Amino acid sequence: SEKNHQTDVTIIGAGPTGLFAVFQCGMLGMRTHVVDALEATGGQCTALYPEKPIYDIPGFPSVAAAELIEQLEQQAAPFDPVYHLDQQVTALERTADLGWKVTTSKGHSITSKAVILAAGAGAFGPNRPPLANLESYEGKSVFYLVKRREDFRDKSVVIAGGGDSAVDWAMSLPQVAKKVYVVHRRDKFRAAPESVARMRALADSGEIEMIVPYQLHGLTGENGQLDAVIVKDLEGNERTLETDVLLPFYGLATDLGPIADWGFTLERGHILVDPTTCETRQQGIFAIGDIATYKNKLKLILCGFSEAAMAAHAIHSLVFPEQELHFQYSTSKGVPGES
């Protein structure tokens, strides 16, 4: 079926090292599928510091993290990787023919001869507020990120949090929404001061309503559709905010999750690998980038790139046992679509 896939190498994690592994595998004739819990590629570069310049990527005196990711994706594109984003890898099992089967939280399964774990510090996911029945509203009227502002046209929206995302959307959503509340547990916001000042000006002119200092306390609604969010202050005073949508912006957390149970040798949350191949204790599973460790490991993007090259060369004999691998430079080989 369209949810059961087969490929040469499955890559878990679409951060910088996972993306470069697509390229390295591609250069050796191996097809790849890539899974990431985030909705976008780029791992930490996208989720934590897209606008910061990086100064230690060889050949780039300075490159914004988001720009590096764009370039890596472009470099990988000729090899037609298949991306499965917005889903976590939940299971990893041996197959009868000595390959591996990866299963995702959206019900996709991918079988391949080898797996590259480029999983960083684990799967990225939102910090979720501790509210009863939260799951039943998620994806229907509770969202952790805004894909299209239009989705909230003429709706009443509660934004919760005090960081950049909360403040940015508090400035932007009043242009389409019917009503915007901003709930934060204290009157101090962690976002850029100019943005906070602009948000306060919108509150003064009545375009948004600040519910401060209050915390989320409960949800009411039916069949996943919210009708109100209940908030409480430190004295226990409650308020009921009638709303269609709740946007909790409490940042991202990482979750090593099932990786911890897959039988690797872990050293403080990192997977021990053979530094000459990046193979783990499990035959056919390789780990690269921040998740991998060995003596004197440096957690740098440039080391992850080199590990991707080593893993791909080691994997070649698993995918093509009959073929001898002749080492070749990219300058003599070229890439698809270039002459």
Q: What are the binding residues for FAD? A: 17, 36, 44, 49, 89, 124, 290, 331
Residues 26-65 that bind ligand FAD (CB under 6 A): 35-38, 43-45, 48-49, 54, 56
Closest approach of ligand FAD to the CB of residue 246, in Å: 23
298-306 contacts at long range (C-beta below 8 A, 24 or more positions apart): 300/56, 301/16, 301/17, 301/54, 301/56, 301/57, 301/68, 302/56, 302/57, 302/58, 304/15, 304/16, 304/17, 304/20, 304/118, 305/16, 305/17, 305/20
What's the CA angle centered on 147, arms 144 and 149, to 5 degrees? Answer: 105
Using CA atoms, how far apart are residues 289 and 212, in angstroms rounded to an integer? Answer: 42
Is 119 a binder of ligand FAD (CB under 6 A)? Answer: yes
Stretch that binds ligand FAD, among 121-129, 181-189, 211-219, 243-251 (CB under 6 A): 121-129
Helix and strand counts by DSSP (H, E) for the chain: 8, 23
Read off the amino acid at residue 126.
Answer: P
Using CA atoms, how far apart are residues 180 and 174, in angstroms rounded to an integer? Answer: 6
Reduced to 3 states (helix: H, G, I; strand: E, B; else coil), residue 131 is coil
Q: Do residues 27 and 33 make contact, with C-beta atoms less than 8 angstroms apart?
A: no
Single residue of 7, 8, 10, 13 touching ligand FAD by CB under 6 A: 13
With 0-12 / 13-18 / 19 or more C-beta atoms within 10 angstroms meaning exposed / middle / buried, residue 134 is middle
Is 299 a binder of ligand FAD (CB under 6 A)? Answer: yes
Closer residue to ligand FAD, CB minimum distance, 26 or 120 = 120
Closer residue to ligand FAD, CB minimum distance, 13 or 221 = 13
Stretch that binds ligand FAD, among 10-18, 142-150, 172-180, 218-226 (CB under 6 A): 10-18
Closer residue to ligand FAD, CB minimum distance, 94 or 106 = 106
The 3-state secondary structure of 245-286 reads: EEEECCCEEEECHHHHHCCCCEECCEEECCCCCCECCCCCEE
Closest approach of ligand FAD to the CB of residue 258, in Å: 6
Is 263 a binder of ligand FAD (CB under 6 A)? Answer: no
Closer residue to ligand FAD, CB minimum distance, 93 or 204 = 93
Is 18 a binder of ligand FAD (CB under 6 A)? Answer: yes
Closer residue to ligand FAD, CB minimum distance, 18 or 161 = 18
Q: Any idea which residue has 């035959």 for tokens?
A: 283
Residues 76-105 that bind ligand FAD (CB under 6 A): 88-89
Closest approach of ligand FAD to the CB of residue 273, in Å: 12
Single residue of 10, 17, 24, 165 touching ligand FAD by CB under 6 A: 17
Closer residue to ligand FAD, CB minimum distance, 121 or 211 = 121
- Residues binding ligand FAD (CB under 6 A): 12-18, 35-38, 43-45, 48-49, 54, 56, 88-89, 118-124, 257, 259, 289-290, 299-302, 304
